[in-house]
Amino acid sequence: MTRTKLTDWQPRPAPQRAPLQGRYVRLEPLELALHGEDLWQALQGAGADPLLWDYLPYGPFAERTAFDAWLAHNAASLDPLFFAVIDQASQRAAGLLSFLRMAPKDGCIEIGHIAFGRAMQRSPASTEAVYLLAELAMGALGYRRLEWKCNALNARSVRAAERLGFTYEGTFRQHMVVKGRNRDSAWFSIIDSEWPACRTAFERWLAPANFDAQGRQIERLERLRTGSGQA
């Protein structure tokens, strides 16, 4: 693996609270007044994913007041820096995610706090939401390292990291206590020398030509990135 040789590294800018436009979704800086009702319905409504909160350090929320307080706290934060995911078709917020653990002096940044409503899961919208943050960090802002961390028992998050092109780096044993339970944390990353191939694969996978008339993918993201045709 080729790594970028540093000769005159300069700290990178921190991401700003500004919208990011995609084909399937738009990312907007999180605001309770704008996104609260949509997110309550997407994440806590009658059709919400019952497994969504299992590995997150907060939730589920039995009352709307507690949910709104959580959203307001997140909206005021700069690290993590939260974005609401707006579905382009419905123009409603369907999930949220954030940058966190930002280290501009080292060029290192993480994507996390991902909470996508059921309608977003396993869809072009969820892939594009991550891609938009990744491209901002690794492309526009020039960061060297993009991180993804999750509970090692969270099979859905581990699978997502691998599918999206993150490399598994190891497991930090007894890393945290979350909701009274031990958490071993699985660590993943994409580094700058890997990003061009990842970017190309993302853009080819997200292109309309990669989906049939029923909206089913034609080529898998892993195959576009590696040519291996992994499932």
Walk me through the domains of the chain, giving residue ranges and CATH numbers: 20-221 (3.40.630.30)
Token pair for 105: 């002096």
pLDDT at 122: 83
What is the reported pLDDT for 231? 34
Q: How many residues does the chain have?
A: 231
DSSP assignment of the chain: ---PPPSS--PPPPP-S--EE-SSEEEEE--HHHHHHHHHHHHHSTT--TTTTTTSSS---SSHHHHHHHHHHHHH-SSSEEEEEEETTT-SEEEEEEEEEEETTTTEEEEEEEEE-TTTTTSHHHHHHHHHHHIIIIIIS--SEEEEEEETT-HHHHHHHHHHTPEEEEEEEEEEEETTEEEEEEEEEEETTTHHHHHHHHHHHHSGGGB-TTS-BSS-HHHHHHSS---
The Cα 132–Cα 148 span in angstroms is: 15
Place of tokens 């009702």: 37
Query: In tens digits, what is the pLDDT along the chain, a chain of 231 residues?
Result: 455 567 789 999 999 999 999 999 999 999 999 999 999 999 999 989 989 999 999 999 999 999 999 999 999 999 999 999 999 999 999 999 999 999 999 999 999 999 999 989 888 999 999 999 999 999 999 999 999 999 999 999 999 999 999 999 999 999 999 999 999 999 999 999 999 999 999 999 999 999 999 889 999 999 999 874 433
Of 156, 220, 174, the residue nearest 228 (C-alpha): 220
- Quick: pLDDT tens for 20-41: 999 999 999 999 999 999 999 9
Instruction: Tell me the per-residue pLDDT of 105-141, one tens digit each, with 9 for 90 and over.
Output: 999 999 999 999 998 988 899 999 999 999 999 999 9
| Rounded-to-integer distance, Cα 82 and Cα 101, Å | 12
Could you identify the residue written with the tokens 């969504």?
Answer: 52
How confident is the model at residue 87, as a pLDDT? 97
Sheet holding 167-178, edge to edge: 20-21, 25-29, 81-87, 93-103, 108-116, 145-151, 181-191, 167-178
What's the token pair of residue 4? 């970028």
